């Protein structure tokens, strides 16, 4: 391996990006004068070109920038845009609700349909809406602590669950520390978190044996650290151990909802105590959801009873969000569930993900590369390591962050967007086989680039 050569290739791609994106470059410099990290969100600064593309418009699976370039978008807002950009049903519902009020802190009749549909899809009977999946995870954790009286949250090393403080830990070189270069902020994570490797049943059993863990918070398979498939028997063991130890099981489907209409949970018959989702659930309008089982609800109602209509309820769950469940969010969520994330659209999305994964495998095998591809429903990922990782430690040991960054920069120059934190490709209903084949052609040229440079 020749890291210096990869750096030279990256420098070349960033110079090419700067030369062809002068308006975005100028906008980025202007943004630095007003935003803490250059853009409205700190996520917007992490693109491999050295600065982000400034979007002018987006429709379907394509984004157009202010410099006149068109991109096939496989990032899709890191799942927030999984419905595609400006889907007609969502736009229509949003415009209608905008004309009839967005935030009244009152329910609408659409909420009745949404609640029933969430139960039908995901299987849990009671739901709460939030403004993000982060808030949904925080709410679920708070309820788990309330009903168990326990302080700690167990997460798996390499996980990501939004801005949940308890999940900002990982195991690296056998030691527990802050994950992903997150800076400490005075929280004693030893008091609020436990962390073990994914798929490690023995470590899970030992960690829960202390009786101080309120809940396990996990994706059904890990996505944000590079996709880590779930080992045979792990979910069965996870459910048995959590039940035996009185630990609440929270499954975060924010990314894995790409598995199908009811997410990975419905597809594989999982039985969480709580389920969380967000991002795509309202078509890009900020929203999160969490559902609870009847048993969890009944335990909670003993602590915070249902409202007595004659007495103002002074106690609440400690979960904020005045805008949560607002009429605009509800209207767009109904449109998503009723008209966009349908079985027929999932079938199309998954077929395109399969097309991308199989073509990428063909390129990898034809060139004898030590890389692999993982697919989960409408999502696929190319990883620059020989086989799928079993846990976060495998990712740390084998991940090629330098090649990922180079691929992202090269792709941006070639009109393809991939979420810059990993190399996952997500399909939306508007993604076409032509879009997928465009990726195959560009991926082949990326392989030629790195092979000719002698860096693989």
74 and 121 share one domain = no
Whether pLDDT at 1 is above 60: no
150 and 165 share one domain = yes
pLDDT at 287: 97
pTM of the full predicted structure?
0.96
Mean pLDDT of 369-383: 97
Query: Residue 175 belongs to a domain with what CATH number?
Result: 3.40.640.10
Whether pLDDT at 57 is above 80: yes
Where does a domain end: 325, 340, 355?
A: 340
220 and 315 share one domain = yes
pLDDT tens string 411-434: 999 999 998 888 999 999 999 999
Query: Residue 49 belongs to a domain with what CATH number?
Result: 3.90.1150.10
pLDDT at 310: 63
CB distance 230 to 245 below 8 Å: no
Whether pLDDT at 74 is above 70: yes
The total number of structural domains that make up the chain:
2
60 and 170 share one domain = no
Could you give the CA distance from residue 337 to residue 91 in angstroms, rounded to a whole number?
14
Q: Which residues does 340 contact at the CB level (< 8 Å), separation at least 6?
A: 83, 84, 87, 89, 90, 283, 429
Query: Distance of alpha carbon 437 from its chain centroid, rounded?
Result: 25
The residue length of the chain stands at: 456
Sign of CA dihedral 335, 341, 342, 345: positive
387 and 260 share one domain = no
pLDDT at 176: 85
147 and 274 share one domain = yes
For residues 308 and 251, the model is more confident at 251
Where does a domain end: 318, 340, 362?
A: 340
CA distances from 173 to 62, 157, 158, 187, 411 (A): 41, 12, 13, 22, 33
Mean pLDDT of 327-344: 98
CA distances from 402 to 159, 222, 331, 407 (A): 21, 21, 43, 9
26 and 150 share one domain = no
At 215 the three-state DSSP class reads: strand
Domain span holding position 414: 3-82+343-453
328 and 352 share one domain = no
User: Nearest-CA neighbor of 189 among 214, 170, 161?
Assistant: 170
At 310 the three-state DSSP class reads: coil
Biggest CA–CA distance in the chain, Å, is: 77
198 and 303 share one domain = yes
316 and 383 share one domain = no
Give 366-399 as a DSSP string: HTT-S-EEEEETTEEEEESSSS--SSHHHHHHH-
pLDDT at 315: 61
Where does a domain end: 290, 310, 340?
A: 340
Residue 250 CB-density burial (10 A; 0-12 exposed, 13-18 middle, 19+ buried)? buried
116 and 212 share one domain = yes
pLDDT tens string 350-361: 999 999 999 999
Q: Give strand ranges (E) for 229-349.
A: 248-252, 274-278, 288-292
165 and 281 share one domain = yes
Opening angle at CA 330, ends 327 and 331, nearest 5: 85
pLDDT tens string 96-147: 999 999 999 999 999 999 999 999 999 999 999 999 999 999 999 999 999 9
Mean pLDDT of 78-103: 97
């Amino acid at each position: 391996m020749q890291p210096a050569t990869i750096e030279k290739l990256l420098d070349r791609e960033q110079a090419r990006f700067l030369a062809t994106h002068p308006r975005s470059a100028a906008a980025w410099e202007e943004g630095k004068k007003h935003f803490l990290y250059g853009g409205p969100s700190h996520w917007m600064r992490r693109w491999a070109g050295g600065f982000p593309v400034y979007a002018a418009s987006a429709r379907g699976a394509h984004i157009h920038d202010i410099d006149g370039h068109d991109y096939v978008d496989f990032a899709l807002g890191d799942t927030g845009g999984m419905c595609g950009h400006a889907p007609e049903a969502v736009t229509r519902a949003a415009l209608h609700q905008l004309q009839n009020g967005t935030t009244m802190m009152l329910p609408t009749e659409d909420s009745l349909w949404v609640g029933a549909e969430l139960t039908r899809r995901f299987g849990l009977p009671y739901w709460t809406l939030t403004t993000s999946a982060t808030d949904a995870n925080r709410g679920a954790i708070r309820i788990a602590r309330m009903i168990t009286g326990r302080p700690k949250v167990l997460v798996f090393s390499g996980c990501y669950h939004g801005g949940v403080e308890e999940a900002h830990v990982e195991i690296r070189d056998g030691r527990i520390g802050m994950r992903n270069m997150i800076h400490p902020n005075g929280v004693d994570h030893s008091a609020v978190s436990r962390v073990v490797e994914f798929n490690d049943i023995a470590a899970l059993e030992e960690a829960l044996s202390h009786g101080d863990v309120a809940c396990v918070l996990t994706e059904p398979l890990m996505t944000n650290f590079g996709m880590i498939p779930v080992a045979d028997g792990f979910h069965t063991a996870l459910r048995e151990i959590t039940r035996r130890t009185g630990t609440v099981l929270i499954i975060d489907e924010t990314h894995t909802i790409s598995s199908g209409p009811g997410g990975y949970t419905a597809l594989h018959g999982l039985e969480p105590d709580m389920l969380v989702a967000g991002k795509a659930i309202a078509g890009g309008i900020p929203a999160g959801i969490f559902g609870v089982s009847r048993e969890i609800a009944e335990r909670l109602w003993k602590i915070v009873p249902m409202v007595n209509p004659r007495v103002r309820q002074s106690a609440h769950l400690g979960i904020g969000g005045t805008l949560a469940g607002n009429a605009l969010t509800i209207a767009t969520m109904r449109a998503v569930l009723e008209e966009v994330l349908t079985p027929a659209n999932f079938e199309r999305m998954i077929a395109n993900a399969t097309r991308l994964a199989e073509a990428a495998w063909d390129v990898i095998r034809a060139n004898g590369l030590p890389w692999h591809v993982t697919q989960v429903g409408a999502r696929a990922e190319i990883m620059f390591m020989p086989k799928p990782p079993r846990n976060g430690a495998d990712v740390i040991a084998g991940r090629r962050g330098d090649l990922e960054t180079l691929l992202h920069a090269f792709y941006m120059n070639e009109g393809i967007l991939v979420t810059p934190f990993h190399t996952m490709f997500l399909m939306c209903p508007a993604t076409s086989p032509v879009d997928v084949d465009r990726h195959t052609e560009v991926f082949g040229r990326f392989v030629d680039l790195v092979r000719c440079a002698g860096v693989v």
